[in-house]
Amino acid sequence: MSLKVNFYADKNLKECIPEPVSASKMSPSWLSELPNKKSKCPFGFLRNSAGGVDPYTLIPDSSLGVKGCPGIQDFLNFGYIIPNWTTFIFREDEQNKLVVNWVDCPYEIDYVAHPDDQFSTLPNKPIYNHFGKINSPWIIKTEKNVSCLITHPIWHRNNSFTTATGIIHTDISPFHVPWFFEYNYRIKSGMELTTMDVSKQIIDVGTPLMLVIPFYRKKFESSINYVDVEEMERQSNIQIYRSAFGGIYSEFRKKMIKFNGLFK
């Protein structure tokens, strides 16, 4: 059983649209522009109230920042990005309704508005009181017992829209993926093109629109445990060392690290 996602599109669209790509190959530009920390050590020393160093207590080195956060790094490397297949232009008509146009799309597009009466009890409704849906060129299919989480590529930081999050059982039936989203910017320029806010009203071709994360569909279970201080410290130390050695530096990923018996 594999977590492979099979993407299908009309053969006439080959080389006409950007293809889905592994999230690890479409890292946000701002992340690559962050300066690298010279030291490869993932730890620092705990300092006491007087500013002195406790040489026996190690803590994660916070100067690593986002590049040293295993939760963010591993998330950015998981799943697939579906990039925008055309250029969308958002405007507002005389009735203050959202208008969506697109440029040179190689296939027929439909824009469907899901109005607020479909989610009347939803708090914090979208600015334009509807979720929009635009059909993408992609159908996805996975192997048995593998579903897909479709969500907003949040770390790419495009805040003019939010892609809605949902789970699709793509092993049961192939799924023609729509871009289901809310538009987050109140347009002030109406239908005018010359005074529009380009950074907010234009979603360029190639922009990450959706993040597709495959996962094995299994029953969820959990337990709640109350433990003493020593066990809490032990669990915290396991998290620190495994995060540092297993989630950040590739040279440590390939082998099991044993530190003071914590990994037994």
Strand partners, 184: none
Element (H, E) at 88: strand 87-92
CATH label, 6-10+84-216, candidates 3.30.1370, 2.70.40, 3.30.1360, 2.120.10: 2.70.40
**Quick one: pLDDT band at residue 149, thresholds 50, 70, 90?**
very high
- Say if CB 76 and CB 43 are below 8 A apart: no
Q: What are the tens digits of pLDDT across the range 105-142?
A: 888 899 999 998 999 999 999 999 999 999 999 999 99
At 204, list the tokens.
């360029």
Q: Where are the domains of the chain?
A: 6-10+84-216, 24-73+230-253
What is the residue whose two structure tokens read 């044993």?
258
Q: CA distances (Å), 172 to each of 9, 81, 92, 140, 210, in order?
A: 19, 22, 39, 11, 21
The strands making up 80-83's β-sheet, listed across from edge to edge, are 21-22, 80-83, 208-216, 146-151, 166-168
Place of tokens 């300092």: 47
* pTM exceeds cut of 0.75: yes
Question: Between β-strands 130-141 and 175-183, what pairing exists: parallel, antiparallel or unpaired?
Answer: antiparallel
